[in-house]
Amino acid sequence: MSYLALSSHPFVDETAVAEELANFLELHKAELAYMLDAYESWAATNLGGYPSRPAALAFNPDLAGASLVSSFLGAIRVNPDKTYSLFVQPPGWNGRTTGREPLALAEVDVFEAEFPNSPFEAIAPGDKVRIIEVIASASDEPDYGMDVGLYDDNGTDFGPEYGFGIQPFGNPALDYGSQAPFHMSFPHEDPIIKAAG
State whether the Cα torsion 135-10-34-18 is positive or negative: positive
* Chain segment 126-163, per-residue pLDDT in tens: 999 988 888 888 887 667 788 999 999 999 999 999 99
76 inside domain: no
CA–CA separation, 144 vs 161, rounded Å? Answer: 21
The pLDDT assigned to 94 comes to: 63
169 inside domain: yes
Say if residue 22's pLDDT is above 70: yes
- Same domain for 122 and 97, yes or no, is yes
**pTM for the full predicted model:** 0.84
- Same domain for 94 and 185, yes or no, is no
- Same domain for 123 and 151, yes or no, is no
- Same domain for 6 and 103, yes or no, is yes
**Cβ neighbours of residue 36 closer than 8 Å, sequence gap 6 or more:** 58, 59, 75, 76
- Same domain for 94 and 10, yes or no, is yes
Q: What 3-state class would DSSP assign to 177?
A: coil
Structural domain for 14, as ranges:
2-18+86-144
- Same domain for 13 and 108, yes or no, is yes
Inter-residue contact 162 to 80 (CB < 8 Å): no
- Same domain for 92 and 134, yes or no, is yes
- Same domain for 117 and 154, yes or no, is no
What is the DSSP secondary structure assignment for residue 101, as one 8-state letter? P
